[in-house]
Amino acid sequence: METVRLLEYEGKAIFQRYGIPVPRSELSMTAEEAAASAEEVGFPAVVKAQVLSGGRGKAGGIATVQTRAEARREAERVLKLRVSGELTRALLVEESVPHSDELYLSITLDRGRREFVALASRTGGVEVSSLPREAMAEVPVPLSGLSELCASSLATKVGLEGRTRAEFVSLVLDLEKLSREEECELAEINPVAVRDDGGVVALDSKVVLDDNAIFRHPEFSRIPPEDPLEGEAAANGFAFVRLEGGVAVVGNGAGLVLSTLDLVSDAGVKAACFLDLGGGAQRERVEAALRLVRRLPTAKAVLVNIFGGITRTTDVAEGLRDVLAEAPMAPVFARISGAEEEDARTILAGAGVPVFRNAQEAVRAVAAWVSR
């Protein structure tokens, strides 16, 4: 199952829809916007890098600021920050919430048990990563949803009392409802801040959606990806990763594309991209993918490796032929096999595309061309 992890601000937007309390915040794309946002939410404010990678706090991606000038300075720094290689995409500027304690709470899929569980801990924040699973309190989540009795049991296991206990029980029920209705693989709050008055607030969000459900969430994401071509690929329904070599590798199925990348590397050349059309690729998607590849400045050649199972090889061939007729692009080398392959070979031959019986032959040919 593929997943889509949301940025913090996106997860908190869902939290608000389900009544989960979060700090007042504003999304900012520039240092000047962040400075204005900090004034809007009030000082002290917290400037937070919006990245999908974990460990942003230890990497310097979270800063508490006291003045507009400090907010601008820290925002400029954080916007240049990479966390585990990922460049900061935007900033979330939010009010600083005074609190006396931090808890951990999540609704997560336990793959081994094939069921969802609610996990909680009296220890929240960065230290939770060092806790063994056995140190977590947990209750199973029935398919029908979590009952108030089960949520209360979790609060008891964590040792909560009074107002904090009551609000935590409501938080568990709201988070479980969110997880079930939004089809999440994981819905996590770390930390859950416990204010001095006993109230609770979600200081962070980690929401992972099943990719099969993402079409039901058109609001995600307003932030463009670091590479605009990746955003274009996602909008057209295929996977694309830019690489540094000269051979654009296009195939249908992640396994096939990855094995082709290995063959390209073994042949002594480097790939310019990973492009997976996906199963059942339609002609329009093929054409969009090839138009994208044509704009790759490092691509000296294109290697198309297609197995016709769900995907019709004639759709791929016709799409490739039409894109080649539109404008010049790097030489294309193709390996086509499967349903309707003979018709596809005829179409590609008419377009001047050399077609090979197996991937090894195609890779040798493209490597020889690129290495000239």
Residue 35 burial (CB count, 10 A): 25
Nearest to 186 by CA among 111, 265, 101: 111
For the chain, give the number of residues. Answer: 372
Tokens (6 digits) for 195: 């204010």
Residue 180 corresponds to which amino acid?
A: R
Report d(CA 326, CA 322) in Å as an integer. 6
Q: Which of 10, 138, 185, 188 is catalytic?
A: 188
340 part of the active site: no
Nearest to 205 by CA among 219, 193, 197, 221: 193
CA distances from 307 to 79, 230, 247, 266, 334 (A): 42, 24, 19, 21, 11
Q: Omega before 297 cis (within 30°)?
A: no
Report d(CA 64, CA 43) in Å as an integer. 9
188 part of the active site: yes
Q: Which of 9, 94, 95, 104 is catalytic?
A: 104
Residues 6+ apart with CB under 8 A from 281: 238, 252, 311, 315, 316
Known catalytic residues are 104, 188
